[in-house]
A and B are shown apart, each in its own frame.
Chain A
Amino acid sequence: QQQVKQSPQSLIVQKGGISIINCAYENTAFDYFPWYQQFPGKGPALLIAIRPDVSEKKEGRFTISFNKSAKQFSLHIMDSQPGDSATYFCAARGNSGYALNFGKGTSLLVTP
């Protein structure tokens, strides 16, 4: 079964707006929560990541909010730009060889 649940499946945001993508997990053994960005025809690339002892991490326009008690985390993209249009995956790392468990992805379109 899907160990990481991601929503929404797709998102349309106007340029300058805020994009918000949410993820939830069940396994409390997960110890690392990255977000990956993928452009068509390319492999996923790490965007930002957080560990469960921190409630928020910000890098430029990208922020992860983490709620350990609710087992939820989210990605916020401030001042969204057309160049941010891509598919975003949340993930959680378990203890099977550091393998990542991915959400199903969110297709983000930022309109001019």
Chain B
Amino acid sequence: NAGVTQTPKFRILKIGQSMTLQCTQDMNHNYMYWYRQDPGMGLKLIYYSVGAGITDKGEVPNGYNVSRSTTEDFPLRLELAAPSQTSVYFCASTLGGEAFFGQGTRLTVV
């Protein structure tokens, strides 16, 4: 089992550019999440999904969008990148117990 796979691992964006962070899981988990991790701040929830076709905002959703067309995939879209979005992004999934995390995407906006 691959678990939760995120791509890319690293990316540098210019201000105003857009990009999609990919996340896929092969564990047939209903629940999926996007978190961002900033130094000394823990992980903050951006968006989550309780199943295909259903998404909801977390604590810090501004500047991001998500979609969930299949159980496996939960991409995160940045439309107009800003320096404040420089962070490490983690995708996670669960059936309701242990949450499994991907390896992260380190994004720098310059």
Enumerate chain A interface residues (CB-CB to B < 8 A).
2, 6, 9, 32, 34, 41-46, 49, 89, 96-105
Which residue in chain A gives the minimum CB-CB distance to B102? A43
Could you name 8 residue pairs across A and B whose Cβ atoms are closer than 8 Å?
A: A2-B42, A41-B103, A41-B104, A44-B90, A45-B101, A100-B43, A100-B99, A102-B35
Return the CB mask of B34-58 against A: 1 if under 8 Å, else 0: 0100001111110011100000101
**Looking at the complex, which one of B42, B56, B58, B90 makes contact with A43 (CB distance below 8 Å)?**
B90
Q: Name the distance in Å between B40's Cβ and chain A's nearest Cβ.
A: 6
Query: How many residues does chain B have at the interface if contact means C-beta atoms less than 8 Å apart?
Result: 27
B31 at the interface (CB under 8 A from A): yes
Nearest A residue (CB) for B6: A43
Beyond A42-B104, A99-B58, list 6 extra A-B contacts (CB 8 Å): A43-B90, A43-B101, A44-B90, A97-B33, A97-B50, A102-B43
User: Which A residues are in CB contact (< 8 Å) with B103?
Assistant: 41-43
Q: In the assembly, what is the distance between CA of A43 and CA of B5, in Å? A: 11
Chain A contact residues: helix, strand, loop or mixed = loop
Q: Which residue of A lies closest to B35 (CB)?
A: A102
Residues of A within 8 A of B96 (CB): 98
Q: How far is the CB of A36 from chain B (nearest CB, A)?
A: 8
B38 to chain A: closest CB distance in Å? Answer: 10
Residue numbers in A under 8 Å from B42 (CB-CB)? 2, 6, 89, 102-105
Contact digits for B67-110, partner A, Cβ 8 Å, 1 yes 0 no: 00000000000000000000000101010111111111000000
